[in-house]
């Protein structure tokens, strides 16, 4: 299933793969260690926004599609959702740690390791099986939905928010609007 990716347009598989590559490049940039603590904080804030938008899109469209098309992977999707909740709690915890502290770097690197494993699991199991179970038209329709939801998704962690439809689909756009206002007021880059 190797594909060349250059945009956030296309089918669900392309978009999720592109998100994974974007996050991997950002993880590598952080781990490269260039920049002072302020630059590291800015990079982690960028990564946080990208991870949250990615997880919201998966929770709203990828995992429901997997449950619908591949009932045998229902427990896998529940495990993935549990991992998302853990990642959100960790991202929230990082907000309260200054980037000068050693704990910030240690926890950030541990988060990246965990998320890499999560991405590899999706790429190894969920995405290929969903690719086989859906038509090209279905995958393109899901890709359009993911592109749309990413544009209104939250950019900050909300670990107490619901992660299953329909509640998440109702609340995420409102939280996203509040987050984007906060981002603008505090100069947080997207």
What are the pLDDT digits (tens) for 124-156?
999 999 999 999 999 999 999 999 999 898 888
CA distance 106 to 168: 31
Give the distance, in angstroms, between the CA of residue 47 and the centroid of all CA atoms in the same chain. 9
Domains delineated in the chain: 12-182 (1.20.120)
> What is the predicted pLDDT for the residue at 8?
44
DSSP letter at 71 equals G
Whole-angstrom distance, CA of residue 18 vs CA of residue 15: 5
3-state secondary structure of 3: coil
Q: Using an 8 Å Cβ cutoff, are 11 and 135 in contact?
A: no
Contacts of 57 (CB under 8 A, 6+ apart): 15, 16, 19, 146, 149, 150, 153
Predicted structure pTM score: 0.84
**Residues in the chain with pLDDT values less than 50:** 1-8, 190
Rounded-to-integer distance, Cα 117 and Cα 186, Å: 32
Verify cis geometry, omega within 30 degrees of 0, for the bond prior to 166. Answer: yes
Q: What's the farthest any 2 CA atoms get from each other in the chain?
A: 49
């Amino acid at each position: 299933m190797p594909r060349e990716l250059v945009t956030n347009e296309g089918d669900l598989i392309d978009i999720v793969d592109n998100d994974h590559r974007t996050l991997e490049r950002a993880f590598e940039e952080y781990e490269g260690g260039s920049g002072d603590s302020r630059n590291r904080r800015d990079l982690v804030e960028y990564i946080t926004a990208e991870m949250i938008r990615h997880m919201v899109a998966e929770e709203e469209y990828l995992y429901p599609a997997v449950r619908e098309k591949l009932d045998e992977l229902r427990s896998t999707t529940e495990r993935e959702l549990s991992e998302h909740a853990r990642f959100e709690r960790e991202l929230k915890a990082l907000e309260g740690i200054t980037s000068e502290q050693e704990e910030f770097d240690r926890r950030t690197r541990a988060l990246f390791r965990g998320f890499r494993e999560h991405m590899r699991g999706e790429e190894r199991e969920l995405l290929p099986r969903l690719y086989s179970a859906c038509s090209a038209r279905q995958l393109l329709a899901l890709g359009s939905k993911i592109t749309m939801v990413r544009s209104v998704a939250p950019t900050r962690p909300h670990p107490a928010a619901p992660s299953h439809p329909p509640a998440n689909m109702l609340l995420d756009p409102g939280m996203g609007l509040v987050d984007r206002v906060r981002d603008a007021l505090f100069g947080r880059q997207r």
